[in-house]
Structure formats: C-alpha cells, structure tokens
A and B are shown apart, each in its own frame.
Chain A
Amino acid sequence: MDIYLLEAIINGILLGGVLALLALGLNLIFGVVDVVWICYADIVMCGMYAIYFLYAQYGVPLPLACAIAISGLAGLGVLVHVLIIAPVLRSPPLNQLLATGGLLFFLQSFATLLFGTDFRNIGVRLPVLEVATMYLSFARLIAFAISLVGAVALYFFLKRTYLGTAIRAIAQDREIVGLMGIDDRRIYLAVSAIGGALAGLAACLLALQYDVHPFIGNTFGPVIFMICVLGGLGNMIGGFIASFVISQIIAIGGYYGSTELSYVFAFTFFIVLMLIRPRGLFAP
C-alpha cells in the first residue's frame, strides 16, 4: 500500500478521536435536553481562546490553563442552558435551532470584536514522529489518546453513577423521571455542564493542532452535526463510530484531492446516506 495513503488513514483515525469527543457532547445534550446546539463548535472556539490567552499571553502553565478552560466551558454550558435553552424548551424545534444559531452568530461576532480576525497559535511545538517513513503529529496522537480516555470516562460515568443512570433514563422517558424523584431541570443543567466540559476538553486538544480564530467553529461545526445525525441523533455509540467513518472520508478524500474537496465528499456521502437510511447508519 502507498505509504502516504497509510499516513492519511492513520491521521484520519487520529482526527476521528477529537471529532468523536465533540459528537459525544452534542449527542449527550440532544439525547437528554432534546435540543441541537448549532453553536456547539463555537463554544469550543471560546475554550481555545481561553487557553490561548491563559497560556500564551499570561503564562499560566498549560495543564492549569486547560483545567480552567474545561471548567469555564462547563460553566458556559450551564449559562447557555439557563439563558437560551430553558426559555425555548417548550417551543417548536425550529425556534430552538434558531436560538442556538443566533448564539453562534453572537459568539463569532463577539470574538471578532474582542480579538479581531487574526489567527492565533498557542505556540506549543510538539515533535513530529517518524514511524517507518510516515510522519505522524505527536499533538494528534496525544489528542487521540486523551479523547479516548475522555470517552471511556464518560461511559463509566453514565454507566456507574446515579446521575449518569438518571441521564440515560431521562433520554428514554422524559415525563416519568419525576416519579423517580429526579428533577429534570437539574439533570438538564448537569448535562449542559458535561457537554460544556467535553467541548472544553476538545478545545484543549484542538488548540495544540490548530490556530484559533473567530470562525474556527465553522470548520468543525457542520462536520459534528453530520456525524451525530449519521450515528442517529442522541445515539452516543452510533456517533462515536460515525466519527471515524467521516474522519476517514475526510482524510482519504484529502489525500486524493484538496481539503475542501474532502469535505465535499464527506457532506455528499452524508446526504446520500441520509436518503438511504434517514434515521442514521445504526437505526434499527
């Protein structure tokens, strides 16, 4: 096999890890709160700026900067829920999409206002590994590994704790959880915080690989929705697998064509697949 193709495939797998993390967060929120956060990738953008300023500007140690970013975004997730989602919880889905879409617009413009449109890099230079004449980015390897750890941690949280079990329960029967002594509003807050924290973790990993600018969310946002829909909205395992399918299409498409073309392939694949299996890849 062509060594460059292999390199592209491996890079695709590595990219899939971070996408999977974001897809988990978005799916978690959708499955529980039943609202699609169109602005999810822009929340990640906020986290990337936080890390950039904390680490590159104010010299906060990187791990601490990441911890602050993760908890900050958890707080932002709660804020988004309280200020924007809660008021439209009983509105038609369209209005919910638009409310978070308006937030997307706000976040991108506000970031432009505060930071300008410059591309900023946190300036951490991680080595590039050479394995059998293939070049693999160390930053991507780390991102992949940490994404997997995050996904596994989330799995155990959902599987082993009362709160996690309640989160899965509410996604199955929204109305009845009150009878179990579960306050759905508190679960929504918890899920929004977890979704925010996952976005924060993704922000840490992406900041190592990409420059941050106000519109970076546009690069990832549509891809993440696509992944979630392919896997079946709310289906976390489906989304996890779909992340790797899509990241492979992007990686191999990029190998044969340009970056944009690879995304065109991915979106076209998505549209075609949706028309064949409208409820996602893994729907029964």
Chain B
Amino acid sequence: MTEIEIGRLLRSGTTGFVIGCRVNQLEAPSFGALVRVPLESDYQVFGLIYDIQIEDDGLVRQLITAQDVPEEVLRDNRENRNVPVEIGVLALGYQHGERIFHLLPPRPPLSLDAIYLCTPAEIVRFTGIGRFGYFRHILRDRNKPVEELLAAHLMAARSAHEESGNADWYTQALQELITLMRDDYQGLINVLSAASDI
C-alpha cells in the first residue's frame, strides 16, 4: 500500500481544514475523496474533500491574453510556479488507537501536516463502522454542494465496499440518507438525483 501525499495543511478549524498543494500533486485528490491527516502515532483525522480552488495571479491572468501558450509554459505554471491549489476538507471523524469515531476531531490538524489520500481499505474501514454518523457533518452546511459531495463520496465508497465484498453498503447508505433527509423534500430529491447520475 503506497501512501499518496496530496499536500500539506494551510489552515484548519474544528469542522474542517484547507490543504495547499502544488498543481502537479493535484492528479491524486478529487472532489468527494476521503483523506486522512496522521497527527500522532495513534491519532488521525479523517475528512472529505469538498472544494478544490485553483487560484490565479497576475501572471496567469496576463498569460490568458496570449494567443497560444506553449506546452512548456503551461507546465511551468502548473508545476513550478508557487501558486498553490487550495483543497477544502470537511472533518468527518477521527481515529484514536484502533477506534474510529464519527465525531468532530478533538484537535484539528496543525500547519504543514501532511495529508494523505485514503486507500480503499481505509475508506471501507472508516465508512463501514457504525451507522453513517459522519453524514451529519456533510449535511450540516447546506451552503456547500452537499448533493454533489454526497454523490461523489457514495460513488467512491461504493466501489471500495464492493471490491471488499460488501455490496449492501451503498443501499444502506442511501437508506440512511433518506432517513436523515426525508423532512427536506427538495434536498433529498437533489441528493437522489445526483446519486442517480452515479
């Protein structure tokens, strides 16, 4: 199992954190991916990528005005230039020792902590424990694209669970979502519409 480091922590809070990474690190993380931040030997925080921001600067804005941009310049801007990609992560839970909790982490990660992409086995372990308590954190902030986030997460986690032989996880997850959201007709229909595009 190779660890894929996707970047390092820029800033954090109890409910989430922001990772900075270079553009060439950007191939690994994707919207809805589960990440983890090992803080101590027996403590790590889990989160879900809900936002990826590619920032511009003056040079990039200037380059936009050119007729065509040579490949070398393109790669220079993506790989060398110190314009970080900001990745927003929603805190979903943490692991202390062997136990996984779907509660907000007691301590947020610190500046420059390395962030790793979760392997399918880690996804299965984190999402398979308990009864989807971490959905609370996703559903809490309706200003985020919750529907899309859930759809992306479900898609990734479903394939991880199916590979590990648990074909029911997806159904159970949807059922839990429906239970959580059935008083919010529009929200629920949005989530299901998004899920139906999986």
Q: A and B bound?
A: no
